[in-house]
Chain A
Amino acid sequence: MVLPPNVSEADFNAALNEFRSAVGANWVFTSDEDVALYRDSYSIYWGEPEERVASAAVAPSKVDEVQQVVRTANKYRIPLYPISTGRNLTYGGSAPTMRGSVVLDLKRMNRILEVDEKRAFALVEPGVSYFDLYNYIRERNLKVMLDVPDPGWGSPVGNSLDHGAGYTSAHFRDHFGSHCGMEVVTPEGDLVRTGMGALPNSETWQEFRYGAGPYIDGLFTQSNFGVVTKMGFWLMPMPENYLYGTITVPRYQDLEPLIQEVSYFEDLGLLGMPSYGSPLGGGLMGPPAPALTELMQNGWPTADALENFVASQKRPAWSVELNFYGPEETVRANWQAAKRRFAKAIPGAAFQDGELLALPIPKEKEATQGDKPRLGIPALEVFTIATRNPINNADPPDGHADFFAYVPRKASAVWAAARVMYETYREMGVPPMHHPFSTPINYYSRCFIVATLVPTYRNAAKNAKSRELFGKVMDRCAEHGFGCYRTSPAFQDRLMSKYSFNNNALLRFHQKIKDSIDPNGVISPGRYGIWPAKMRGNRG
Chain B
Amino acid sequence: MRQALLLGIVMSVSLLAQTPAEKDGKAVFDKWCTPCHGAEAPKRSMFVNGALPGTAALALKYQGRVPAVLEQRTDLKPAYIKTVVRHGLYGMPISRKTEISDAELDDVVAYLTENRKK
Contacts and interface: CB of A to CB of B under 8 A. Distances in A.
B53 A384 contact: yes
A385 B98 contact: no
B14 interface: no
B23 interface: no
Contacts of A382: 47
A472 to B, nearest CB: 24
B42 A371 contact: yes
Contacts of A284: 46-47
A388 B90 contact: yes
B6 interface: no
Given A284-B46, A379-B35, A399-B91, A29 B97 contact: yes
B44 A370 contact: yes
B77 interface: no
B96 A41 contact: no
Contacts of A38: 96
B31 A108 contact: no
B60 A384 contact: no
Interface residues of B, number: 34
Contact of B45 (A34, A94, A367, A381): A381
Which of A36, A367, A371, A400 has the most chain B CB within a 10 Å cutoff?
A: A367
B96 A384 contact: no
Contacts of B47: 284, 381-382, 384-385
Contacts of B51: 381, 384, 389
Nearest to B57: A388
A387 interface: yes
A232 interface: no
B66 interface: no
Given A86-B96, A284-B47, A389 B42 contact: no
A381 B57 CA distance: 12
Interface string B104-117: 00000000000000
Contact of B91 (A93, A368, A372, A387): A387
A391 to B, nearest CB: 10
A152 B60 contact: no
A370 B98 CA distance: 31
A37 B94 contact: yes
Interface of B: 31, 35-36, 38, 40-49, 51-54, 56-57, 60-61, 86, 88, 90-99
